[in-house]
Structure 1
Amino acid sequence: MRNKYFLVTLFLLVANALFGQSTPIRGKVLLGNDGVEFVNVYIKSLGVGATTNMNGEFTIQVEKPGTYTLQVSMVGFKSSQQKVVVPQSSDQLIIQLEEMDEGLDEVVVSGTMQEVSKLDSPVPVEVYSANFFKANPTPSIFEALQTVNGVRPQVNCNVCNTGDIHINGLEGPYTMVLIDGMPIVSGLGTVYGLSGIPQALIDRMEIVKGPASTLYGSEAVGGLINVITKRTDAAPLFSTDAFVTGWGETNLDLGVRSNWGKKIQSLTGINGFYYDNPIDHNGDNFTDLTLSKRISVFQKINISRPQNRVFTVAGRYIYEDRWGGEMNWNSGFRGGEEVYGESIYTSRWETFGTWQLPTSENINFQFSANGHKQNSFYGSTSYMADQYIGFGQLTWTKTAEKHRVLLGMAYRYTYYDDNTAATSEVDSKKNMPSKMHLPGVFLQDEIKFSEKQSLLLGARYDYNSIHGSIVTPRVNYKISSADKTTTLRLSAGNGFRVANVFTEDHAALTGARDVVFEEELRPEKSWNVNGNLVKKIYTDSGVFVGLDGSVFYTYFTNRIVPDYETNPNQIIYANLDGSAVSQGLSLNADVAWPGGLSITTGATLMDVSVEEEGIKTRQLLTERFSGVWSVGYEFFSLGLKVDYTGNVYSPMRLPLLGELDDRPGYSPWYSIQNIQLTKSLGDKWEVYGGVKNLLNFTPAANSIARAFDPFDKNVDFATDGSVIPTPDNPNALTFDPSYVYTANQGARGFLGVRYTLNR
């Protein structure tokens, strides 16, 4: 009997040893014939991984048999995946690494309007992937850009929270926003079109700082932001990203890839945003955050053609109902003078695409069109506007020996009509919609002297139906070291902008001020010079350091500067009788360690000033110093990532309402910081959450002047429109929400979930 028990026990022990023990996955990571140390090898679905030793070898213990995906990554090399079956059929896996200069040498298009390697581009282009923005999830592109060096989302109104994007201190009208290279977001869309782009469909954003008018025409004076959507053949089969905040904001992104027959690939995206929770933490009886209900639908299709010729068409529709104002406002008060509210209904459609002509030459026709209808009230002041923009462009590229030539013709038609003085005949009630024709032609030649050195020459001629001929040249020079770890770029160029004040300046529409034009506005022109130096450092321990520094100088003539200070009840527009300058330097630094820690940081020091009649003044709402950072650490064994992001800004000059205004003339130093934890649940699910605005920073409670009297019923005015000080109004103030530099939204938690199905 004892022998029988002994045999049973022995059998159980052997079975446990055979079936209960883990199975090792052994492998070796090579670069050519040499083993590579400090490479991360990870099985995401199990949350286990290892780092290679000095011989490039690794071992991962797996508890149960199955088929798993190994993820192999190291800074400076292309990430890869490899299937492995446990138990393994071979004793050791061999994995080959492929170099990819700093891991960021993507194909870019924004700098030259042609697909080129980022490393080879003579124009400095900053690229930010979708993963970069996941470190601080936001419901709109406008907010997402808050951690990009030298780029600042500027809130322009304390009530309706509309805003624009500043690049190197230049206001939103100087920034062109493109979707897949097409000028979709402009005019009225500069304010409202940055919302509702489904971020689940965004592949990357390319940012060019400095004038790009030579290729893109008007509005690209300060720089451009090109939102690149995912290819229809590379997007996930299905993806969703949803989150909710402690304030009650709810955001949902959906993406679906499908095939319509054998030749048509489709990509569909939906974005929904809902916030209907009036909050007034600063006690001024106004909503701290604008309430909004938004729906956006995006559709992109790719049609397969012979010889892989391109034919892509996309479209988007967005509708938004937003309001901000006194806490007891509702739609019944819309347009009245009892309770103040700013209510905006926006309906907008867009379409764009590219068709490659069926010729032996590389000729492409690109097109875009958009319509924007706005129905809004700012208190009792109505603003009803319609805008239609049509754009077509034909480009021909040719590569011959050392030259890469781009020749293009473009035409842009802009129709704009509203119920303000901007589109009415002088001294008449007759309506006069603005109709602007802007044909142009451009030529660019990239001369490649060698693998290390190239020169780009370009020029553009436009004829504006209102302002006449405009010429914009540019030159770019690039030289790299033999190992491509050091690259120097020098550039000089010209930009121009034809202003349409009423589609760009929200302060002109609040009803709080009258708009005065001292003269017929002439096009602004600018000259820019820029130097950019990129240095990549690889250490023996596997640490990567990337440095990207720039100096910039932009000189403006005919600058259009709104004057808020001469008369506190007016905004006076005129071309500057003098000059304006934006100058400074910036530095980006990326550091990554093999163990999972990565740091991206940047700082910009600049001086943006206006000089007129020998007097130099700082531009309003422009900081001298700004800094951003994003710190991430991944715990591979736990499938957990921690992201800490933030920014810091130095004081900005703020628009006061006269000499008696007792509010500070400058904003304080301030910082918005966020923290997030992301947990992977297998290959498909992610759960994330954290806290935004950790320091709970908000502007002063008196940011809205005379919030208790939004219709100026108790303000006395002189015959010239100026305000008369009275015992009830000793500081001679009027209701004004333009004293604003950042949002009033304080600290709040957030929680979200992502699901991605690739096949």
Structure 2
Amino acid sequence: MKNLIPFLFFCILINTASFAQVTIKGKVTSDGMPLPLANIVLKNTKNATISNGDGLYSLKKVSVGNYEVVASYTGFKSQRKNITVTDTVTITLDFNLKENNSLDEVVITGTLKPVSRIESPVPVEVYKPVFFQKNPTANIFEALQNVNGVRPQLNCNVCNTGDIHINGLEGPYTLVLIDGMPIVSGLSTVYGLSGIPNSLLERIEIVKGPASSLYGSEAVGGLINIITKNPKNAAAFSADSFITDWGELNVDLGFKANIGKTASLLTGINYFNYSNPVDNNNDNFTDLTLQDRISVFQKWNFNRKNNKLFSMAGRYFYEDRWGGELQWEKKHRGGSEVYGESIYTKRWELLGAYELPIAEKMLFSFSYTDHDQNSVYGNIPYLAKQRIGFGQLTWDKKLNNHDLLFGTALRYQYYDDNTPATVKEDINWIPSLFVQDEIAINENHKILLGARYDYNNNHGSIFTPRLAYKWKIDDNNILRFNTGTGFRIVNLFTEEHAALTGSRDVIVLEELKPERSYNANINYLKKMYTGNGNFIGWETTAWYTHFSNSIIPDYDSNPNQVIYKNLDGFAVTKGISTNLDMVFNNGLKLILGATFMDVSKTENNIRSRQLLTEKFTGTWAISYRINKMFLDVDYTGNVYGPMRLPLLGDLDPRKEYSPTWSIQNIQFTFNKFKNIEIYAGVKNLLNWTPNKGNPFIIARTNDPFDKNVDYDTNGNVQTTADNPYALTFDPGYVYGPNQGIRSFFGLRYTLK
């Protein structure tokens, strides 16, 4: 009995401690000022509260155990603290939050210097991985579909290749960078936007409008800079994988390792497979191209004295994709028995940055890419090699109120293919000089002056100046004005997919001169914080770009040809774009965007709207967090206005203009478990596909080699009983994805 009493007393103590009702209280501040309506959450429980007008909060009835407490407030960095709850009645835990709105992030793309987005005289849009996770995709190309003013454009119904349009301009006008280096260009504009592992993505910066004065050719319409993570800041291990009911499988892995005190290493692996032919529109052609793709990316950051930068990265990419008639097999590749478009792509990339070990701030950056493409379009082979080397040295110097940047660059371009247009290897060396001066007139007014000189041995000297002005009206209102010029040197067979596929003949009427552009845009940014903790960010941009020497594919003059020449006239793109970001303290977040534009060409005093350019677009991402259920709901989508489409003649029964169309998606993410997110949803909720309302999308699928097409003496297609619309095989009538509704399920794991 004597031994039983102490045992019972010990059990009572343990039981009392286990069910102790402890209160965690404290104050949420920022720089000493209280933050009312801040969210305080006890992770992995249903216990949550908000701070009062004095920033004070109280979490009651907390049981004994180990917890993570998170304090968050709109426009500020969340703060996390670990705490051990014992039988103490009250625990005090204070938080001091630092402001961190996405509008204040550091960007480098607009000026080649790290600068706060608010302070940059060049408007730069920033998108973090969490934005793209609202609608998970297998590649960067698809991920950009919910960015306002940016549209992934499919160029072929069979092989599903595409490019990125910014403000209505074709993909070759957009320069895609990785860590500021021109990695994705030429051939890879069409074939290389896939396979960049999402696990390595730190953010994507987008500049809309010419940036040739800093980045040279190809940056006429704008640029997309894919910033990869610093290995020091990356998770030790991350995994993200999803599968759809169409059979698409995407796996994304990331690993970090420290190599002693010398360096840190980050490795990313992306694998995508789709091998389930689907033909929902019953034309005997695949609705979605079959793909088998792997990409391996590795980045090294070396530790140096005085924190000088030295990083290197490399990527290897391989893809095997095909589309065509359902009965197509590898043995049919390149033959005339069964039609298929088969593309093997091998590509490797190397890039790096080295800050010189001197007192002055000088940075040497370099990149090299090797792209090998082995492809057939029906019975037409296209074998191409492209190598691009790039080196750049910049000197960042501040003198009084002048923030100067001097730079020199050298670009090496090698291209060769088996087409008659390439008689011999095309080798080009393009040296460049550029200078930039950002002048701080006072705290609220800045002017940026810039100029670039390029020399191309085929086209001579090219000069591109620019000017930017920023007026900081106050901390929450910014006005920017930018103007400048751009240029683009065209290589048809690396940029224009229509030159490779279908039955149209490619006609080049003259030696193509570089395109030139003149641009002006005005940008207004406003931030609004309401008294109850809500935030609204509003940004609007109006732009006007005038092109001379434009090279616009002519599909209209002859339905059997694609004609290329410098436009005898001019082209114009103009419009207005607006973005609205709203964050509410009840867990609701809205990102809304709309763009209205007019893209036209004028030749022989006749003005016409350009093909495949819509007049308006809209995008949205609506998110709501249900804390008690540990659930995030994301509803994303886009809407596009009608665009003129390439028909094959007056008898072509397909619609000349696309309808207004929309792709909408919903996703549910469950995040109760530590380091794990489980997500599922539905893509293309409306089950929209471009074949609706059309008798067919691909012309003459029953005769893809045009064996039964009759021509007159002038080469015009004749009407016959077998060919009542006088058509040839044509997969180029495409403006949106041909993949219908599908569900997906995924798992995301992060080990910090």
Class of the TM-score when normalised by the shorter of the 2 chains: over 0.9
Alignment of 1:285-364 (within 5 A): 285-364=284-363
Match of 1:209 in 2: 208
CA contact (8 A) 1:380 1:511 kept: no
Report the alpha carbon displacement of residue 54 of structure 1 after superposing the two structures with TM: 2.2
Match of 2:443 in 1: 451
Report the alpha carbon displacement of residue 400 of structure 1 after superposing the two structures with TM: 1.5
Distance in 2 between residues matched to 1:135 and 1:320, nearest whole Å: 26
1:729 and 2:723 aligned: yes
Alignment of 1:14-25 (within 5 A): 18-25=17-24
| Number of corresponding residues | 746
TM-score by length of structure 2 reads 0.97
Distance in 1 between residues matched to 2:33 and 2:446, nearest whole Å: 34
CA contact (8 A) 1:567 1:721 kept: no
CA contact (8 A) 1:44 1:682 kept: no
Distance in 2 between residues matched to 1:611 and 1:365, nearest whole Å: 43
Q: Which amino acid aligns with 1:716?
A: D
1:113 and 2:105 aligned: no
Distance in 2 between residues matched to 1:32 and 1:757, nearest whole Å: 31
Report the alpha carbon displacement of residue 62 of structure 1 after superposing the two structures with TM: 6.2
**Cα gap change, 1:670 to 1:415, in 2 (>3 Å):** same
Deviations, residues 264-318 of structure 1 (Å, cap 9, x unaligned) = 1100000000000000001111000000000000010011111111110000000
**RMSD, aligned α-carbons:** 1.9
The runs of 5 or more residues in structure 2 that have no matched partner are none
Report the alpha carbon displacement of residue 17 of structure 1 after superposing the two structures with TM: 5.1
1:463 and 2:425 aligned: no
Q: The residue matched to 2:144 in structure 1 has which SS?
A: helix
Deviations, residues 66-88 of structure 1 (Å, cap 9, x unaligned) = 33222221112222222222138
Match of 1:429 in 2: none
**Cα gap change, 1:434 to 1:88, in 2 (>3 Å):** farther
Q: The residue matched to 1:283 in structure 2 has which SS?
A: coil
CA contact (8 A) 1:381 1:511 kept: no
Selected match of 1:614 from 602, 605, 613: 605
Selected match of 1:750 from 734, 744, 749: 744
Match of 2:704 in 1: 710
Match of 1:366 in 2: 365
CA contact (8 A) 1:440 1:463 kept: yes
Deviations, residues 696-740 of structure 1 (Å, cap 9, x unaligned) = 000116110111111111111223322122232121111100100
CA contact (8 A) 1:631 1:645 kept: yes
Distance in 2 between residues matched to 1:11 and 1:309, nearest whole Å: 60
Q: The residue matched to 1:637 in structure 2 has which SS?
A: helix
Q: Which amino acid aligns with 1:261?
A: G
Distance in 2 between residues matched to 1:410 and 1:365, nearest whole Å: 10
1:532 and 2:523 aligned: yes
CA contact (8 A) 2:175 2:184 kept: yes
CA contact (8 A) 1:38 1:542 kept: yes
Match of 1:582 in 2: 573
Match of 1:35 in 2: 34
Q: The residue matched to 1:503 in structure 2 has which SS?
A: helix
Match of 2:689 in 1: 698
Match of 2:64 in 1: 65
Match of 1:96 in 2: 96
Report the alpha carbon displacement of residue 661 of structure 1 after superposing the two structures with TM: 1.1
1:739 and 2:729 aligned: no
**Cα gap change, 1:48 to 1:249, in 2 (>3 Å):** farther
Match of 1:567 in 2: 558
CA contact (8 A) 2:617 2:639 kept: yes
Distance in 1 between residues matched to 2:218 and 2:458, nearest whole Å: 16
Report the alpha carbon displacement of residue 514 of structure 1 after superposing the two structures with TM: 1.3
Report the alpha carbon displacement of residue 12 of structure 1 after superposing the two structures with TM: 8.3
Report the alpha carbon displacement of residue 27 of structure 1 after superposing the two structures with TM: 1.8
Q: The residue matched to 2:612 in structure 1 has which SS?
A: coil
1:518 and 2:509 aligned: yes
Report the alpha carbon displacement of residue 580 of structure 1 after superposing the two structures with TM: 0.3
Q: The residue matched to 1:104 in structure 2 has which SS?
A: helix
Q: Which moved more, 1:367-376 or 1:258-267?
A: 258-267
Distance in 1 between residues matched to 2:470 and 2:714, nearest whole Å: 57
Selected match of 1:435 from 427, 440, 450: 427
Report the alpha carbon displacement of residue 673 of structure 1 after superposing the two structures with TM: 0.3
Q: Which moved more, 1:236-245 or 1:447-456?
A: 447-456
Distance in 2 between residues matched to 1:706 and 1:391, nearest whole Å: 44
Distance in 1 between residues matched to 2:356 and 2:544, nearest whole Å: 40
Deviations, residues 483-541 of structure 1 (Å, cap 9, x unaligned) = x1000000001000000010011111114221110000000000000000001111111
TM-score by length of structure 1 reads 0.96
Distance in 2 between residues matched to 1:26 and 1:62, nearest whole Å: 11
Match of 2:629 in 1: 638
Alignment of 1:538-549 (within 5 A): 538-549=529-540
CA contact (8 A) 1:48 1:638 kept: no
Q: Structure 1 vs Structure 2: percent identity of aligned residues?
A: 56
Q: Which amino acid aligns with 1:737?
A: P
**Cα gap change, 1:736 to 1:81, in 2 (>3 Å):** same
CA contact (8 A) 1:48 1:636 kept: no
Distance in 2 between residues matched to 1:502 and 1:8, nearest whole Å: 86
Distance in 2 between residues matched to 1:401 and 1:271, nearest whole Å: 47
Q: Which amino acid aligns with 2:700?
A: R
Deviations, residues 119-159 of structure 1 (Å, cap 9, x unaligned) = 10000000000111000000000000000000000000000
Report the alpha carbon displacement of residue 11 of structure 1 after superposing the two structures with TM: 10
Q: The residue matched to 1:236 in structure 2 has which SS?
A: coil
Q: Which amino acid aligns with 1:622?
A: T
CA contact (8 A) 1:233 1:265 kept: yes
Following TM superposition, the consecutive aligned residue runs of length 4 or more in structure 1 with deviations greater than 4 angstroms are: 5-18
Report the alpha carbon displacement of residue 59 of structure 1 after superposing the two structures with TM: 2.4
Match of 1:428 in 2: none
Match of 1:51 in 2: 50
Distance in 2 between residues matched to 1:530 and 1:714, nearest whole Å: 52
The runs of 5 or more residues in structure 1 that have no matched partner are 425-431
CA contact (8 A) 1:502 1:509 kept: yes
Deviations, residues 414-456 of structure 1 (Å, cap 9, x unaligned) = 10000102211xxxxxxx1111221110000000112211000
CA contact (8 A) 2:39 2:49 kept: yes
Q: The residue matched to 1:561 in structure 2 has which SS?
A: coil
CA contact (8 A) 1:681 1:687 kept: no
Q: Which amino acid aligns with 2:425?
A: P
Distance in 2 between residues matched to 1:465 and 1:491, nearest whole Å: 30
Q: Which amino acid aligns with 2:98?
A: E
Q: Which moved more, 1:454-463 or 1:67-76?
A: 67-76
Q: Which amino acid aligns with 1:411?
A: L
Match of 2:254 in 1: 255
Report the alpha carbon displacement of residue 13 of structure 1 after superposing the two structures with TM: 8.2
Match of 2:127 in 1: 128
Selected match of 1:669 from 660, 665, 670: 660
CA contact (8 A) 1:568 1:734 kept: no
Selected match of 1:656 from 642, 647, 663: 647
Q: The residue matched to 2:736 in structure 1 has which SS?
A: coil
